[in-house]
Structure 1
Amino acid sequence: MSIRLLSETIINQIAAGEVIERPASVVKELVENAIDAGATRIEVVTAGGGKNLIRVTDNGGGIPADELTLAVSRHCTSKLTDDVHDIRALGFRGEALPSIGSVARLSIKSRTAEADSGYEVVVRGGYLEGPRPTAINRGTIVEVSDLFYATPARLKFMKTDRAESTAITEVIKRIAISFPQIRFSIAGTDRSPLELPATCSTGETVSEAAMLERISQVLGTDFSGNALALDSEREGVRLTGFTAIPSFNRANSLHQFAYINGRPVRDKQVFGALRGAYSDVIARDRHPVGVLFLQLDPSHVDVNVHPAKADVRFRDPGLVRGLIVGTIRHALAQSGIRPATSGAEAMLKAFQAQGFESKDFSASQFDMPQRSSGSFTSSPARNWQSASNYRPDAPRQEWSPQTAHPAQRPLHLDNQPAPRYEQAGFGEAMQATISQFTAPSADSRAAEIEAPVELLRAPLGAARAQIHANYIVAQTEDSLVIVDQHAAHERLVYEALKTALEAKPMAAQMLLIPEIVDLPEEDAERVVSHAETLERFGLSVERFGPGAVAVRETPSMLGEMDVQQLIRDLADEIAEHDTANGLKDMLNHVAATMACHGSVRSGRRMKGEEMNALLRQMEATPGSGTCNHGRPTYIELKLSDIERLFGRR
């Protein structure tokens, strides 16, 4: 078969196959063009999930009449200089409009501030009509109809109208976060209207408050109450943005956003670093929430990797990863102890008395014991074990230590001095001291716990009770705190073990016979380049001829292990991320297992001094808001929320 030159229409349709994947791709390209044109208001209208109609209206600078035909020609752009590495606009290829025009019916109306009237060009299946005069205000209107009518095979791979509409909304939200000074709106017959008002004026520096307000418009208002601000710089790369506390997480990664010089990207290196920063404070099946903005010299990042411009390539990926991980972990450590606001909301819903809201029930239907004018009286405690045991005709007795149920009697330590705790601990040895007394249940001891008033001002307050031998109830000046004692102490022990591991080199065990691991030459070179870092964690490696490394020592914490597989896994990680953190993660996993088995167990009764000591250690330990498995260690319920439950507000 002879070689022939393809027609311009076929060339454009092939290009459209890379640039225009679905209606959301069209919206992305058109909105980015509007932003590059200096628009402060962008309106998007769709129909049929964008397959029937996409109309993008902006108030930008407009396109001169003599440049309209160039705008729909391939490789024509106003956004790129002679240096392809100096890219400072969202668009730069000059492929979007001609690609759209080759597979759909495209109409462009535009007017500049200096022009007396607007002009319009129309492209149908790759054929140009115009320009001709038209009525339009300053700005541009781009209308795309009958998408993929020229390539009907593509329509078979489109999803439902609802799915395509949702994808368009996600694209707008992802772009809008990076431009809080622009007002975005989406409407159409296939969707509910969405308005994203501008949070700052054009030309002014975007403040932290304005950015957080725009992010809250997209992620929800609860994000601002759980966000940590980021601001760090290293070797010319600056990281700003917001990330959520560990206990505020999601079931998928759709609430993660990354921007390189203002450009939204879906780069696996950036999101992998975000995930790594939360590696030991969040559950494996949960995902952190965050918005990251990276600013660096355009020559140090390649955005020209793929026509979709969602993937980038950094000149120094290790630097970027280290900056993201280090900044987020520092922010988590400096944030102190904070509960997720979503936990209190779920707790409020769980406390809703649904039965009493029904008109089929009323308080008069329940024959409840009455409060006398004197002291409170009740039937014996055994009658209150369950509702079925309650007898309205049972004789009522005045409460006294002699008539009370044993679980309600005060604790008496006859002829035995109360133990003094110079320093409360949590070891099982303490349990032996406590269990020598004939103590009542943990619930009845609640009223006996007293603490100085100043403890109420502490973040976690003063311990008041232990219920079900697992949960500590504490009181602050304006809230109620419930702590899972096992989860909380597990985090404290784990952090102490990690600190001990990082304070000095890891203990290593020497192999009687060095393990020789055969690797490709490039993998062996990568592993040896990180030999110094690996030795800190107890793994000693050295070159053993071409394409092999010799392992002479392994971390003693790991015991017997598959050295061959460990080295290969490390080589793969170094090749992908240029880091050798896999070994550190393995050691942390061992430390987490030790912490889980060595911490205060569920069912262990604790004295008031022990509970308060646990709360104080939690306040002083970074990351103590979640356990090693990512579950919350405590929940805080504000007094205002409690009053609302009882109808006092």
Structure 2
Amino acid sequence: MPIRVLDPQLISQIAAGEVVERPASVVKELMENSLDAGAASVTVELEAGGLRLIRVRDDGRGIGRDELPLALARHATSKIDSLDALERVASLGFRGEALPSIASVSTLTLTSRAADEGQAHAVTGRGDDDVPVPRPAPHPPGTTVEVRDLFAKVPARRKFLRTEATELRHAQRVFRTIALSRFDVAFRLRHNGRELLHLPAVTGADGEAERRIGAVCGEDFLEHAVRVEHEAAGMRLTGWIATPGFSRAQADLQYSFVNDRMVRDRLFNHAVRRAYEDVLHNQRHPAYVLFLALDPAQVDVNAHPAKAEVRFRESRLVHDFVFRTLHAALDDHGGGAGEHDHGQGHRVELPVRGAPGPAPPRQGGLGLGAAESAASYAFQAPAPSSPAAAAMSSAPAPASADTPAMGYALGQLHGIYILAENADGLILVDMHAAHERILYERLKRELAAGGMRQQPLLVPATLRVTETEAELAERHADDLAGLGVELSRSGPAQVTLRALPSLLGDADGEGLVRDVLSDLAAESGADRVRRALDEILGDMGCRAAIKAGRRLSHAEMNALLRDMEGTERAGHCNHGRPSWVQVDLAALDRMFMRGQ
């Protein structure tokens, strides 16, 4: 086949393959155009999930009659005019390809009226080089873009679309995301004539921003959300992150924006993930709505055809800023157990008359070894006259204003939960989850202080492993020694364990070694090995934590409560499960109908 210049419509259809994947892609491009036009209100109407009709109406600046044909011309835009402008672009759209590309695979009608013109005009685009002639049309100031029969001109592409319900879900996701990017704009979404979502503009009044967050992300997210706001090094990070207890099985509640542009950026997502590492199981996903603002010259927004990804000129600086900001926010929210009045723990609203209601998650028997005692909690017996001494007697003292935040132990429930009394009411502690966090933080402190103390085994243990695992043990022997694990290769497929961290006592050494080697095998590279070492510390803490079914004395229970008060992120175990809940007196009174 000889070389020849492609037909203009075919060029636009090829370009559409980069810009228009499905109806949701069209919704994104058109809504972003509305925002760039200064709209205060945007309405999206869909039929058949957007397959039959996509109509986006706004009250922005509008387009003058003489410029309407140019709006449908390829590479025509009002948003940049030079390379310098491209390097500091602040608008959402700027390529000048969206409208002609969409027109090449659908029937597109553009109707607009500029604020200084008394008459609106409309043009219909076909995605070719023919210049459409504007015709008068009724329309208030602003713009409406109507897209009918998407991919009707490219039947092969239409075959790849999903069901109406699936395409609607994708379009809704885009609509919600853009609605989160601009709180000052009102948004409305309709489907097949039925209103699905109406979001009034946020005026700045107290609680209005949270109301939009609740409407888009759900009230459950809002109830578990921590506000983030930090500025440094020419960057500002704001938004909301959910506590680890609200983690998700899928990454379906993650909204990130850079200079108000919706993005899916791997560096940004990695920084968020790292901030949650110590409190979230690696199979769970955090939920968040985050806005990063920085100098536009420090961001390359022209890195992806659909503008879904960006590149940062100082990527390490951005990564560290996001990570440290969120890590600090999680620490502030869940730092010490004494912060329960600020959301560190979980308050429970008890039902009345035995109706089913929320309760802490039940932890089954874990079969884990435990080597702790009151002494290994660093417990010091108080003077006989102190409140703590009274609390550890067979009849604990009643709570008072000077009662510690986690209170004093009353007893155990089914060998799993500790019941304690504090000034606010009743506290229930999952003793394994709480102890797991305490041990994990101790292990981290020992490692940061220069290495963990080792406890040599009376009899070295020899384990048969794979050759790959034996090689990993040999390669990372020094790293493991720093963790208090003396492990050496003693054969092609054999390792020998000679010491464990003294803090772990009689933990299952063989099981720990196999977990350690499994974590190392799953990771590679310096950063991944560091993450693997964090996983190893978590495994150590989990294996040595108090097992379900163990009976504790009052001294041991109170020692655990005191340690929780001094432990960072004590509100959750290493896997993100809550470690304690608060049931206040008001909830108990409602349960027993006192005062009614």
SS at match of 2:244: coil
* Paired AA for residue 182 in structure 1: V
Return the alpha-carbon distance in structure 2 between the equivalents of residues 350 and 306 of structure 1. 58
Say whether 1:473 aligns with 2:397: no
Match of 2:374 among 422, 425, 433: 425
Deviates more, 1:135-144 or 1:593-602: 593-602
Cα shift at 1:570: 11
In structure 1, the residue matched to 2:94 is 92
1:246-325 counterparts in 2 under 5 A?
246-325=244-323
Q: Is the 8 A contact 1:449 1:608 kept in 2?
A: no
CA shift digits 1:438-457 (9 cap, x unpaired): xxxxxxx998332441355x
Deviates more, 1:93-102 or 1:458-467: 458-467
CA shift digits 1:263-285 (9 cap, x unpaired): 00011221122112111211122
Q: Is the 8 A contact 1:237 1:294 kept in 2?
A: yes
In structure 2, the residue matched to 1:357 is none
Deviates more, 1:159-168 or 1:633-642: 633-642
Cα shift at 1:25: 0.3
Q: Is the 8 A contact 1:12 1:102 kept in 2?
A: yes
Return the alpha-carbon distance in structure 1 between the equivalents of residues 298 and 42 of structure 2. 31
In structure 2, the residue matched to 1:221 is 219
The answer for unaligned runs of 5 or more in structure 1 is 202-206, 355-423, 434-444, 509-533, 541-552, 575-579
Say whether 1:611 aligns with 2:557: yes
Q: State the aligned residue count.
A: 515
Deviates more, 1:241-250 or 1:45-54: 241-250
In structure 2, the residue matched to 1:76 is 76
* Paired AA for residue 107 in structure 2: R
In structure 2, the residue matched to 1:158 is 161
CA shift digits 1:492-534 (9 cap, x unpaired): 11101101111236799xxxxxxxxxxxxxxxxxxxxxxxxx9
Q: Give TM-score, length-normalised by structure 2.
A: 0.78
Cα shift at 1:616: 2.9
Cα shift at 1:128: 5.2
C-alpha distance 182-239 of structure 1, shift in aligned 2 (>3 A): same
In structure 1, the residue matched to 2:369 is none
C-alpha distance 454-589 of structure 1, shift in aligned 2 (>3 A): same
In structure 1, the residue matched to 2:435 is 489
CA shift digits 1:369-424 (9 cap, x unpaired): xxxxxxxxxxxxxxxxxxxxxxxxxxxxxxxxxxxxxxxxxxxxxxxxxxxxxxx9
Match of 1:140 among 143, 146, 151: 143
Return the alpha-carbon distance in structure 2 between the equivalents of residues 26 and 232 of structure 1. 34
Return the alpha-carbon distance in structure 2 between the equivalents of residues 254 and 79 of structure 1. 32
SS at match of 1:247: helix
In structure 1, the residue matched to 2:488 is 560
Deviates more, 1:284-293 or 1:51-60: 284-293
In structure 2, the residue matched to 1:39 is 39
Q: Is the 8 A contact 1:177 1:211 kept in 2?
A: no
Return the alpha-carbon distance in structure 2 between the equivalents of residues 167 and 48 of structure 1. 13
Q: Is the 8 A contact 1:538 1:556 kept in 2?
A: no
* Paired AA for residue 44 in structure 1: V
* Paired AA for residue 287 in structure 1: H
C-alpha distance 352-555 of structure 1, shift in aligned 2 (>3 A): closer
Return the alpha-carbon distance in structure 1 between the equivalents of residues 453 and 228 of structure 2. 35
In structure 2, the residue matched to 1:54 is 54
C-alpha distance 646-158 of structure 1, shift in aligned 2 (>3 A): farther
Cα shift at 1:459: 4.0
1:312-461 counterparts in 2 under 5 A?
312-335=310-333, 336=335, 337=337, 352=355, 425=374, 427=376, 448-454=395-401, 458-461=404-407
Cα shift at 1:539: 5.6
In structure 2, the residue matched to 1:530 is none
C-alpha distance 597-147 of structure 1, shift in aligned 2 (>3 A): closer
In structure 2, the residue matched to 1:193 is 196
Cα shift at 1:73: 0.5
In structure 2, the residue matched to 1:116 is 118
Return the alpha-carbon distance in structure 2 between the equivalents of residues 89 and 643 of structure 1. 55
C-alpha distance 308-573 of structure 1, shift in aligned 2 (>3 A): farther
Q: Is the 8 A contact 2:276 2:286 kept in 1?
A: yes
* Paired AA for residue 123 in structure 1: G
CA shift digits 1:168-195 (9 cap, x unpaired): 1110111111210111110121765211
Cα shift at 1:103: 0.7
C-alpha distance 344-128 of structure 1, shift in aligned 2 (>3 A): farther
Cα shift at 1:248: 2.0
The answer for unaligned runs of 5 or more in structure 2 is 358-372, 382-391, 455-474, 493-515
In structure 2, the residue matched to 1:386 is none
SS at match of 2:110: strand
SS at match of 2:111: strand
In structure 1, the residue matched to 2:468 is none
Return the alpha-carbon distance in structure 1 between the equivalents of residues 230 and 353 of structure 2. 40
C-alpha distance 428-218 of structure 1, shift in aligned 2 (>3 A): closer
CA shift digits 1:453-492 (9 cap, x unpaired): 1355x54333322111221112344443211112111211
Q: Is the 8 A contact 1:450 1:464 kept in 2?
A: no
SS at match of 1:611: helix
Return the alpha-carbon distance in structure 2 between the equivalents of residues 117 and 349 of structure 1. 64
Q: Is the 8 A contact 2:399 2:423 kept in 1?
A: no
Return the alpha-carbon distance in structure 1 between the equivalents of residues 323 and 528 of structure 2. 14
Cα shift at 1:615: 2.1
SS at match of 1:94: coil
Return the alpha-carbon distance in structure 1 between the equivalents of residues 351 and 435 of structure 2. 26
Cα shift at 1:351: 5.6
Say whether 1:172 aligns with 2:175: yes
Match of 2:186 among 171, 183, 191: 183
Cα shift at 1:244: 1.7
* Paired AA for residue 118 in structure 2: D
C-alpha distance 274-428 of structure 1, shift in aligned 2 (>3 A): closer
Deviates more, 1:118-127 or 1:245-254: 118-127
SS at match of 1:287: coil
In structure 2, the residue matched to 1:411 is none
Deviates more, 1:188-197 or 1:492-501: 188-197
Cα shift at 1:307: 1.4
Return the alpha-carbon distance in structure 2 between the equivalents of residues 291 and 428 of structure 1. 39
Return the alpha-carbon distance in structure 1 between the equivalents of residues 311 and 453 of structure 2. 38
SS at match of 2:427: strand
C-alpha distance 160-479 of structure 1, shift in aligned 2 (>3 A): farther
Return the alpha-carbon distance in structure 1 between the equivalents of residues 394 and 557 of structure 2. 14
Say whether 1:592 aligns with 2:538: yes
Cα shift at 1:340: 7.4
Q: Which has the higher contact order (CA 8 A, sep 6+)?
A: 2
Cα shift at 1:117: 1.2
Return the alpha-carbon distance in structure 2 between the equivalents of residues 342 and 58 of structure 1. 45
RMSD value, Cα? 3.5
C-alpha distance 635-183 of structure 1, shift in aligned 2 (>3 A): same
Cα shift at 1:82: 0.6
Q: Give TM-score, length-normalised by structure 1.
A: 0.72
C-alpha distance 155-644 of structure 1, shift in aligned 2 (>3 A): farther
Cα shift at 1:427: 3.7
Q: Is the 8 A contact 2:446 2:452 kept in 1?
A: no
In structure 2, the residue matched to 1:362 is none
Q: Is the 8 A contact 2:418 2:430 kept in 1?
A: yes
Structure index of larger Rg: 1
